Structure 1
């Protein structure tokens, strides 16, 4: 039996297709890794009050960093990954937020000459 055929088996797989809201922000982590944080805006179905959702994505994968280095706000983007809840401490107490942990990113430069970008990165990258 295929995992996708059995709804009783948990699966944490996210696919987003939208636009890059802004250029990524890079943060040095205590582990020595560099975290790239970026937001993808995705349209909501017609008839809903809000027109788009802005979804935070993050990755420590250097191959995806290279793809994001070529990106500009407004570029079309596809993100594959999993949903993670991040926790941290603030002066007011613990805080958390959900973000997509990006395993792969594909970039298309929207409305620019030479539209397609070879920005596909493998999930293992």
Structure 2
């Protein structure tokens, strides 16, 4: 069996938006949107955080437009791939993991359990 069939990098997250999404422009001139989802852990243990905050990004124009309209605490669902990003710092190389999103949608508005309207 080839590795192309075995390897898979698919991520699906559903969580609350921690703060409004932020539009950024990379030094290359490429625009992207950055936002963070707070996702509850299935089985939290004592003295271990009950949630994880996961950074999500997207270069897709449509997803950038949707994300900037989302409000903090909205319930959001995204699909994408986990990626590791590197950059140079004065003390060496910086690194982080983030989800590069190819799809995203608001599931419910902040403060309500009600579904969001879809276009």
Choose 26-35 or 100-109, whichever is displaced more.
Answer: 26-35
SS across alignment from 2:9? coil
The residue number in structure 1 matching 2:55 is 56
| Aligned CA-pair RMSD | 1.7
Gaps of 5+ in 2: none
Gaps of 5+ in 1: 1-7, 120-125
The residue number in structure 2 matching 1:33 is 30
**1:95-110 matched pairs, under 5 angstroms:** 95-107=94-106, 108-110=108-110
SS across alignment from 1:17? strand
**1:1-16 matched pairs, under 5 angstroms:** 9-16=6-13
8 Å Cα contact 2:72/2:110 also seen in 1? no
User: What's the TM-score, normalizing by structure 2?
Assistant: 0.85
Aligned length: 111
SS across alignment from 2:6? coil
